[in-house]
A and B are shown apart, each in its own frame.
Chain A
Amino acid sequence: MSVPKVKWDWEITSQTSYWGASLRELWAFRHLLEGLVKRNFLLRYQQTVLGPFWILFPPLLTLVTYVLVFGKLVGIPTGTLPPVLFYFAGIILWSFFNDSFTGTATTFRDNVHLFSKVYFPRIIIPLSVIHTQLYNFLIQFLLMLLLVAYYWLFQDLRPTLSITVMWFPVVVLATALLALGMGLFFSVLTAKYRDMGYVISLGVRLLMYVTPVIYPMSAVPEKVRWLVQLNPLSPLFEAFRLSLLGEGTVSPWQLTYSVLFTVVFFGAALLLFNKQGDKLIDVV
């Protein structure tokens, strides 16, 4: 074979790369990402009466339920924090994780009509889901700040603003990354095995119970605490409450464990997604 004299821009072979799309390529498709985020918003609230207020209603309704059931009925201690703030912090971070994860876990299955007709870096779709959820989360977070302000002004809540506030962005970023990583990992599986869809919806519900969403870490009996602490989400939830409300049981080591786990898992999932992504279209 003679060496080609012309320089080629791209090459398609049977090999799939672990690295996926280059950053330059992703940059070229940034408008698609933006457009998809916008589309997700528009679609969700098209022809609804309340429109974007639907971002706030589900967590508020969940809050009422949790306060009544777990707070009043079951009587789970929430430390010195008012139950409303305690639960709301758990709810919004959990729904952010939950929606991001379940939204990305079926990427291939849900977008097969698109993926089989046009090429763009596949990672754009899960990224757009995470972005959309991040905006939702930020809106809910603003409501949370209002609640905190209310308790601070009219009740005797005196959160001590300390250095732990610095953890807030770390926590949100790590949660997003973990959700994306898990989503990417499972999107490969759901494409191949339809049973995975059921496993995910069941598994994510069970996962909530080993995450300090409706209870504080301090309320967990010593014997089973290791189980909750093994969950990389747990330190994130505790750190989230600690950074905003000033109460949470988490050591820097636990948080480091969480972040390290997240980064490693995300990296591995991304490689798997890239490697499998091109082949999956034959299988979905």
Chain B
Amino acid sequence: MAEKIIQVENISKLYRLGTIGTGSFRQDLQWWWNLYVMGKKDPFFHLDKTAPPGVVADQIWALRDVSFDVKQGESMGIVGSNGSGKSTLLKIISRIVKPTTGVVRGRGKVSSLLEVGTGFNKELTGRENIYISGYILGMNKVEVAAKFDEIVAFSGIEEFVDTPVKRYSSGMYVRLAFAVAAHLEPDILIVDEVLAVGDADFQKKCLGKMREVSQAEGRTILFVSHNMQAVNTLCDRAIWLNKGQMLEMGPSSAVVNKYIASLQKLQLGQKWQTPQEAPGNKYIRFKQVELIPHVEQSDGVIDVRTPLTVKFQFWNMLEEMSLNVGIVLYSYTGDCIFDLLSPTLHCHTGLVEGECTIPGNFLNDGSYYITLTIAKEASIPVYNLDECLSFDVEDYRADICYFEKWWGAVRPKFPFKLVNHQEAYQIIR
């Protein structure tokens, strides 16, 4: 069992809203007089432990009683929606802001990368910026000098190293800035959403470098990202923060799945009791639509492996009519992925029921919605039930170190054969 390298104990952070610093010098004097001389309670700042989280009057708990440990060589992911306190937590551990209550203890040198290009100055050349940025991030002269060539090579700006960075393209700027940070050698590396910048190729490079740092070199990493695949692959464990409180901590895949499940805006079914309230027209009234994911794992996340069954029922008020039902699947951008037509059925008045299963390993990850269409005589539209079902398909990649968005409208797994013939090689030789 590796030793603990960071111990976070009951960290809370309270921010005051509005005019921080309470505005004027006079008010501050008044406050100071009341608090220290008169011995009254601070009217602006009292730690009411029983108050609910979130906004209380003019103050907000950015973090509330967060505790966890990180072990030597472990990489810990922090996930949560915007404003959940992720960055505040990283800032506290990086010693940038003070917690309101609680203690963080740790061992070794900490370097934090909360922004790409901290300490960069546009007027200076690439070379000068590498040095100054390295110093700011906590390297010393010898370390920067030793890593200098590596940094330049990693960022790919060899010809421009003596040009002021204001003349760089924004891509070069970001690459150089990250390269400096990537060659830090701290015991603990703290990384905030810095991978959101740069092109896909560069992001891949960054993630690869972080992987190398965490796994090969055995450094401890604290990592905040909205890229769930990256958290899943890079991190051993993860924390889920919501409104400043820790909801979940555990193996990263479990935490990430729970977090994603909470985000999925699902409309997996709709039901109407009587034809009067149901959507439709004088020919057709819908009774029920339903999407049933055949999820194997318990957390209920629909991912690219999950088969999905669409079930529907409608009241048919047309006598002696041949009907088709179409399932039209749209991506969230409104592109039609497919339009699946049922076989024709000769119907009488009464309830019509149908179902269709979209196999697993077919859809790409993304958000989708389904429209049901009903047509008579094979071509005449009767009624469309627009956007009646919506769901998200999450990414799942086992053992693939590739974090970008998978290309393509669909992501099928067709039988794919790859054979190695050794005899042929002999012949070529």
Tell me, rounded to whole Å, the shortest Cβ–Cβ distance linking B23 to chain A. 9
Chain B residues near A14 (CB-CB < 8 A): 98-102
Is A12 a contact of B118 with CB atoms below 8 Å? Answer: no
Given contacts A14-B102, A116-B96, contact A7 B107 (CB under 8 A): yes
Chain A residues near B131 (CB-CB < 8 A): 35
Does B68 have its Cβ within 8 Å of any Cβ on chain A? no
Does A226 have its Cβ within 8 Å of any Cβ on chain B? no
Residue-by-residue, is B84-120 near A (CB-CB < 8 Å gives 1, otherwise 0)? 0000000111111111111111111010101100110
A34-B141, A117-B118 given; name 15 further pairs at CB < 8 Å.
A6-B3, A6-B4, A7-B107, A8-B105, A8-B106, A9-B106, A10-B110, A13-B98, A14-B99, A31-B141, A35-B131, A114-B136, A117-B114, A118-B119, A119-B110
Is A114 a contact of B119 with CB atoms below 8 Å? Answer: yes
Residue-by-residue, is B181-211 near A (CB-CB < 8 Å gives 1, otherwise 0)? 0000000000000000000000000000000
Does B123 have its Cβ within 8 Å of any Cβ on chain A? yes
Is B115 a contact of A119 with CB atoms below 8 Å? Answer: no
Q: 3 closest pairs, A vs B, by CB? A: A32-B135, A8-B105, A119-B95
Tell me, rounded to whole Å, the shortest Cβ–Cβ distance linking B169 to chain A. 20
Q: How far is the CA of A276 from the CA of B101 in the complex (A)?
A: 17
Is B99 a contact of A118 with CB atoms below 8 Å? Answer: no
Residue of B nearest to A278 (CB): B98
Q: How far is the CA of A47 from the CA of B123 in the complex (A)?
A: 9
Q: How far is the CA of A118 from the CA of B94 in the complex (A)?
A: 7
Q: How far is the CA of A279 from the CA of B96 in the complex (A)?
A: 9
Residue-by-residue, is B318-341 near A (CB-CB < 8 Å gives 1, otherwise 0)? 000000000000000000000000
Residue of B nearest to A111 (CB): B119
Is B104 a contact of A12 with CB atoms below 8 Å? Answer: yes
Does A73 have its Cβ within 8 Å of any Cβ on chain B? no
Tell me, rounded to whole Å, the shortest Cβ–Cβ distance linking B364 to chain A. 36
- For chain A, residues 36 to 63, give those with C-beta under 8 angstroms from any C-beta of chain B: 36, 38-39, 42-43, 46-47
Does B272 have its Cβ within 8 Å of any Cβ on chain A? no
Which one, A31, A38, A192, A282, contacts B97 given CB within 8 A? A282
Q: How far is the CA of A42 from the CA of B121 in the complex (A)?
A: 11
Given contacts A12-B103, A16-B98, A43-B123, contact A118 B15 (CB under 8 A): no
Does A28 have its Cβ within 8 Å of any Cβ on chain B? yes
Chain B residues near A278 (CB-CB < 8 A): 95, 97-98
Does A252 have its Cβ within 8 Å of any Cβ on chain B? no
Given contacts A6-B4, A117-B114, A283-B20, contact A42 B124 (CB under 8 A): yes
Does B7 have its Cβ within 8 Å of any Cβ on chain A? yes
Tell me, rounded to whole Å, the shortest Cβ–Cβ distance linking A208 to chain B. 25
Total A-B Cβ pairs within 8 A:
117
Chain B residues near A120 (CB-CB < 8 A): 136, 138
Most buried by A among B92, B100, B119, B164: B119
Is A281 a contact of B140 with CB atoms below 8 Å? Answer: no
Is B94 a contact of A119 with CB atoms below 8 Å? Answer: yes
Does B25 have its Cβ within 8 Å of any Cβ on chain A? yes
Is B103 a contact of A11 with CB atoms below 8 Å? Answer: yes
Chain B residues near A209 (CB-CB < 8 A): none
Number of interface residues of A (CB under 8 A): 39
Tell me, rounded to whole Å, the shortest Cβ–Cβ distance linking B44 to chain A. 13
Chain A residues near B121 (CB-CB < 8 A): 39, 43
Which one, A28, A36, A193, contacts B132 given CB within 8 A? A36
Given contacts A8-B7, A11-B103, A13-B102, contact A117 B115 (CB under 8 A): yes
Is A118 a contact of B104 with CB atoms below 8 Å? Answer: no
- For chain A, residues 168 to 218, give those with C-beta under 8 angstroms from any C-beta of chain B: 192-193, 195
Is B118 a contact of A114 with CB atoms below 8 Å? Answer: yes
Chosen A-B contacts, 11 in total, with CB atoms closer than 8 Å, are A14-B100, A32-B136, A34-B141, A42-B123, A46-B164, A47-B123, A118-B112, A119-B112, A193-B25, A195-B25, A279-B98
Q: How far is the CA of A13 from the CA of B124 in the complex (A)?
A: 37
Chain B residues near A261 (CB-CB < 8 A): none
Chain A residues near B138 (CB-CB < 8 A): 28-29, 120
Chain A residues near B310 (CB-CB < 8 A): none
Does A4 have its Cβ within 8 Å of any Cβ on chain B? yes
Does B249 have its Cβ within 8 Å of any Cβ on chain A? no
Chain B residues near A35 (CB-CB < 8 A): 131-132, 135
Does A70 have its Cβ within 8 Å of any Cβ on chain B? no
Does B43 have its Cβ within 8 Å of any Cβ on chain A? no
Does A115 have its Cβ within 8 Å of any Cβ on chain B? yes
Given contacts A4-B7, A6-B3, A28-B140, contact A12 B98 (CB under 8 A): yes
Q: How far is the CA of A40 from the CA of B138 in the complex (A)?
A: 19
Given contacts A6-B3, A6-B4, A8-B7, contact A119 B99 (CB under 8 A): no
Given contacts A118-B118, A119-B94, contact A8 B107 (CB under 8 A): yes
Tell me, rounded to whole Å, the shortest Cβ–Cβ distance linking A131 to chain B. 14
Does B21 have its Cβ within 8 Å of any Cβ on chain A? yes
Tell me, rounded to whole Å, the shortest Cβ–Cβ distance linking A2 to chain B. 12
- For chain A, residues 245 to 284, give those with C-beta under 8 angstroms from any C-beta of chain B: 278-279, 281-283
Q: How far is the CA of A16 from the CA of B97 in the complex (A)?
A: 11
Residue of A nearest to B129 (CB): A39
Tell me, rounded to whole Å, the shortest Cβ–Cβ distance linking A40 to chain B. 10
Does B395 have its Cβ within 8 Å of any Cβ on chain A? no
Residue-by-residue, is A96-134 near B (CB-CB < 8 Å gives 1, otherwise 0)? 000000000000000000111111100000000000000
Tell me, rounded to whole Å, the shortest Cβ–Cβ distance linking A212 to chain B. 32
Most buried by B among A11, A46, A282: A282
Is A46 a contact of B107 with CB atoms below 8 Å? Answer: no
Tell me, rounded to whole Å, the shortest Cβ–Cβ distance linking B106 to chain A. 6
Residue of B nearest to A194 (CB): B21
Does B137 have its Cβ within 8 Å of any Cβ on chain A? yes
